[in-house]
Amino acid sequence: MALGPTQRVFSAAKRLLKSLIANSETRLRLAVFELEEERARLLVLLLLAGASLLLLLLGIATLTALVVVIFWDTYRLTAIAISAGVLIGASLLLAVIAIRQSKQHSLLKETLKQLAADRALLEEPSDETIRRHR
């Protein structure tokens, strides 16, 4: 039994809707996977950075105390001032680097790339779809 024009339109619309839902589900799964991956990476990064900063703080404090003790009799105030200046300068430099790094984003990069590819496919008809309409 042949389908009428109305039934064919509804059938095509139903297939199109199924395709759109499947495509959306795939993109959503990709986004969720990327978010989970990014969360795990950030947790490890925070733990490593925290431990590293703690050890660095202890090392710098010990080094600063050593410099002050060495110059205690002659240039104690100069040693303290130079040590403080070096530490403040280094912290400002690291703050500038951190601000630059924070402006670069990589969150959901692959998902956004896939969505852009999907949009490009929808905007430009392919050779295959042109042949089907002829």
**pLDDT tens-digit map of 11-38:** 888 888 888 888 888 888 888 888 888 8
27 within 8 A of 115, measured Cβ to Cβ: yes
Alpha-helix residue ranges (DSSP H) falling in 71-108 = 76-102
Could you give the angle at the alpha carbon of 96 between the alpha carbons of 94 and 102, nearest 5°?
100
pLDDT of 2 reads: 67
| Position 130 pLDDT exceeds 60 | no
Q: What is the mean pLDDT of the chain?
A: 82
pLDDT digits (tens, 9 = 90+) for 52-93: 888 888 888 888 888 889 888 898 888 888 888 888 888 889
- 20, 28, 69, 118 from 64: Cα distances, Å: 63, 52, 9, 58
Distance CA 103, CA 42 (A): 16
pLDDT of 24 reads: 85
